[in-house]
Structure 1
Amino acid sequence: MYSKDELKNLKLEFWESFGAFCEVQPYLRGRKKVWSLNTKVKGIELKFDTNRNGAYVILEVNHRREDLRLEMFERLTWYKEILEKGFPDGLIWDICYVREAGNEVARIYTKKEGIDLHRREHWGEFFSFMASQMYLLEKNFKGIAEYLRE
């Protein structure tokens, strides 16, 4: 078991290592910024999540107002085919995800389970999954983003 400081350092090392991994990926070279997690669509973010159960690549609808959150989630369903392009098993659509802090959001995501953030030998699996899946989700989202800004 890790102490609070050890866990903080482990996570810092993980994210620094992930950044280094991304820098040497041929399909990510030449980009100004590796990830544009800010979508420029109000209430929508692209994000990573990692824990002891696996890795998650997420498109999150996090409007504070439930009606706006549900409306945006519904608008995203109109573009489901575009968002899921290249994901052989599709994406997971969760209209009511409750974060650890207790607030509700809607999430569209893909996951890789059975890998543990605390095990350095799993980091390669985390990195390759997260980079390839975020690249695909980001690319698919950029194709519809302008329609969501209206």
Structure 2
Amino acid sequence: MYTREEAKQLRKNFWMMFGKRCEIIPQLLHRKKKWILYDTKIGGLDLKFDIDRFEAWVMIEVNAKSEDRRLQIFELLEKYKVILEEGFENGLQWEICYTREHGEEVCRIFVLQEGFDLHRQNQWADIYNFFIDNMLVLERNFLDIRDVLQEELS
């Protein structure tokens, strides 16, 4: 078992190593910024990676403060579900109401891999591959519809 400080350091090391791993990915080599993440150009919509003791996620998170705005964005994304799910063998999971551990409600569209544990450093390479492979597809699909989303949301 890790102390709070050890767990914090482990998480920090995990993300630093992930950054180094991304530096050698051919598809990311000539990009000024490795991942879109919070720079989607759509307020209240982010692309994210997450990992805990049981599973890893690559996701679109709709986290607009206004519930009406969240639902508007989520419903618009549903309209383009076929495009967003392209390249995902089993599609994506769509969760209209996900409550974060601090109580904040968001919408999530994600691919999930169970059995990954942040504390098992021998899994890190597989977790990084899961993150990279799936985020490359999710980003590509998102960019295919981003301009249309911006128009319809303005």
Task: Give the TM-score range, shorter chain.
Answer: over 0.9
Matched, 1:11 2:11: yes
Give the deviation of 1:53 after TM superposition.
Answer: 0.6
3-state SS in 2 of match to 1:95? strand
3-state SS in 2 of match to 1:59? strand
Give the deviation of 1:11 after TM superposition.
Answer: 0.6
Q: Distance in 2 between matches of 1:101 and 1:77?
A: 26
- Tell me which amino acid in the other structure corresponds to 2:131: M
Matched, 1:87 2:105: no
Residue ranges of structure 2 left out of the alignment (5+ in a row): none
3-state SS in 1 of match to 2:109? strand
Residue ranges of structure 1 left out of the alignment (5+ in a row): none
Give the deviation of 1:27 after TM superposition.
Answer: 2.3
Give the deviation of 1:103 after TM superposition.
Answer: 1.1
Q: Distance in 1 between matches of 2:30 and 2:114?
A: 31
> What residue in structure 1 maps to residue 44 of structure 2?
43
Q: Deviations over 1:90-145 (max 9, x none)?
A: 00000000001101110000011111100000101110000111111011101111
Q: Distance in 2 between matches of 1:119 and 1:67?
A: 40
Identity of aligned residues (%): 49
What are the within-5 Å matches in structure 2 for residues 1-150 of structure 1?
Answer: 1-37=1-37, 38-150=39-151
- Tell me which amino acid in the other structure corresponds to 1:2: Y
Runs of 4+ in structure 1 off by over 3 angstroms are none
Indicate the RMSD between aligned Cα atoms, in angstroms: 0.8
- Tell me which amino acid in the other structure corresponds to 1:105: V
TM-score (norm 1): 0.97
TM-score (norm 2): 0.95
Q: How many residues align?
A: 150
- Tell me which amino acid in the other structure corresponds to 2:9: N
